[in-house]
Amino acid sequence: MIKFKNVSFDYGDDENKINALKDISLTIEDGEFVAILGHNGSGKSTLARLINGLLAPSHGEGLVDGSSTVDSSAVWRIRQQVGMVFQNPDNQIIASRVEEDVAFGPENLGCEPAKIRARVDEALAVVGMRELAHSDPHLLSGGQKQRVAIAGALAMKPKYLVFDEATSMLDPKGREEIVATTRRLNSDYGITIIFITHIPEEAALAGRVVVLSGGTIAMDGTPQAVFSDVDAAAALGIGVPKARLLAHGLERAGIDIPGSILTVDDLVAALC
């Protein structure tokens, strides 16, 4: 379980203080798939860095499985338990063979070679990249590179995976690959997923959507609840899935449609 108790975070010194997070309290249970949405500068990446102890709260406390993220005796365990995947796949590649890249984390943990081998094979199999184990990651497509990055995080055997805009550089197919992979990691392997995105359609696939605004939690609920009020979502700068927007337009044109519709297929079903 990840638990934030009244967490605030300030960047900069006293004179140029930027209050990026303000008194955030948030609990994420094991096995959840949580999407985090929020306008640019709302504090999403800051929250991500606080979860795995890259940043320490200015006030309040962050707990991962009961250990404080600033507890020096727990920090390595927390970094191993909380994997991160970032936006730019190119910046995350370090080796010239896919399997070496994935092995990097467990090697640093000091795992023995046979164990590393097994972990790398398993991680690559999970993301569907075993055939490309010997390839040069630099030559892969964006979606493939991003799956290598996920395999690298998986080889650490994490309980939690945090994706910070991990699809924003990809084309629609690459994006689909990553979203499908994360859903499988959650449903088949029980990994808790925290998925930061600007794309409402992606957030709509999560079990729960947390919306940040100006460093505070503005909404926290199911995708249906969060996207039901189109104007409120617009005011928070996040937008809603396009199908929801179409449904909203049709409602206003006098067609009777439930407010919970988030996909084109559901919209078609409601109209037929």
Partner 1 sequence: MLIEMAKVTFEYLPGTPLAHTALSDIDLSISEGDFIALVGPTGSGKSTLIQHLNGLLTPTSGSLSFRGRSVGSDVGLLELRREIGLIFQFPESQLFEHTVADDIGFGLRQQGLAGPEVASRVEDALLQVGLDYAHYAQRSPFSLSGGEQRLVAIAGVLAMRPQFLVLDEPTSGLDARGKEAIFDCLDRLNSEGVAILMVTHSMDEVAESARRIIVLNEGKIVLDDKPEGIFVHASFLREIGLDIPKAAELVFKLREKGFNIQPDNVSMRSVVASVAAAVKERCAN
Ligand X SMILES: Nc1ncnc2c1ncn2[C@@H]1O[C@H](COP(=O)(O)OP(=O)(O)OP(=O)(O)O)[C@@H](O)[C@H]1O
Q: What distance in Å separates the CA atoms of residue 232 and residue 223, rounded to the nearest whole number?
A: 14
Binding residues vs ligand X (CB under 6 A)? 11-12, 18, 20, 38, 40-46
What are the CA-CA distances from residue 134 to residues 36, 96, 98, 100, 231 (Å)?
A: 35, 9, 6, 9, 50
Site membership for Mg ion, residue 181 (CB under 5 A): no
Sheet holding 160-164, edge to edge: 82-85, 160-164, 192-196, 33-38, 208-213, 216-221
CB of 190 to partner 1, least distance (A): 30
Question: In this chain, which of 143, 152, 158, 223 binds partner 1, going by CB under 8 A?
Answer: 143
Query: Site residues for partner 1, window 14-53 (CB under 8 A)?
Result: 18, 38-42, 45
CB of 31 within 8 A of CB of 205? no
Of partner 1, ligand X, Mg ion, none, which one sits near residue 180, judging by CB under 5 to 8 A according to partner kind?
A: none
Of Mg ion, partner 1, ligand X, none, which one sits near residue 217, judging by CB under 5 to 8 A according to partner kind?
A: none
Query: Site residues for partner 1, window 48-77 (CB under 8 A)?
Result: none
CB of 243 within 8 A of CB of 267? yes
Nearer to partner 1, 62 or 241 (CB): 241
Please enumerate in sequence order all residues whose Cβ is within 8 A of that of 51, keeping only pairs 6 or more positions apart, or say none. 2, 62, 64, 69, 82, 160, 162, 194
Site membership for Mg ion, residue 45 (CB under 5 A): yes
CB of 203 to partner 1, least distance (A): 11
Sheet holding 18-28, edge to edge: 18-28, 2-11, 59-64, 67-68
| Residue ranges in contact with Mg ion by CB under 5 A | 45
| Residue ranges in contact with partner 1 by CB under 8 A | 11-12, 18, 38-42, 45, 87-88, 141-143, 165, 168-175, 198, 200, 233-234, 237-239, 241-243, 245-246, 249-250, 253-255, 264-265, 267-268, 271-272
